[in-house]
Amino acid sequence: MKQAKQGDTVRIHYTGTLDDGTQFDSSSGREPIEFTLGENKVIPGFESGVEGMLIGEQKRIHIPAEEAYGEHNDALVEQVPLEHFPDDLELRVGMNLQASSPNGEQFNVVVTALDEKNATIDGNHPLAGEALNFDLELVEIV
């Protein structure tokens, strides 16, 4: 049987959970995820967990935060005066927004708190700071 190696395009079924058992994503009921090992299209720990698997093999991997979406970075949390938002935008906690850096780079933020003067926005990935667990099944090496 062929083992998955760098340069191979693989198709993987997965279920992702946090350490407390909370499921955050799954390919169940959908097509398997497809990516090429070595192209850095998935988080590093996921890619290294798939490398060496055989077609049909199932396994569970644990990925520490630093090999997933990184540690939570407090510098990416900011209070922004409400006057900096468009008047017709109805801000709410949990709302996803796009912001621009001073050099024009676009990035996603989420509104985490609101008060009468400010919105707190967080530019961290929602899973930053979390260790992740994945149940994997290598479906195919394309």
CATH number for the domain spanning 40: value is 3.10.50.40
Q: Tens of pLDDT along the chain (142 residues)? A: 789 999 999 999 999 999 999 999 999 999 999 999 999 999 999 999 999 999 999 999 999 999 999 999 999 999 999 999 999 999 999 999 998 878 888 889 999 999 999 999 999 999 999 999 999 999 999 9
Residue 28 confidence (pLDDT): 94
> Is there a domain that residue 35 lies in?
yes
pTM: 0.81
Looking at residue 24, what is its pLDDT? 96
Q: Identify the CA nearest to 132 among candidates 54, 66, 36.
A: 66
Which pair of structure tokens corresponds to residue 5?
A: 């190696």
User: What CATH number is attached to the domain comprising 81?
Assistant: 2.40.10.330
Domain range for 30 is 9-70+128-141
Place of tokens 């997965």: 14
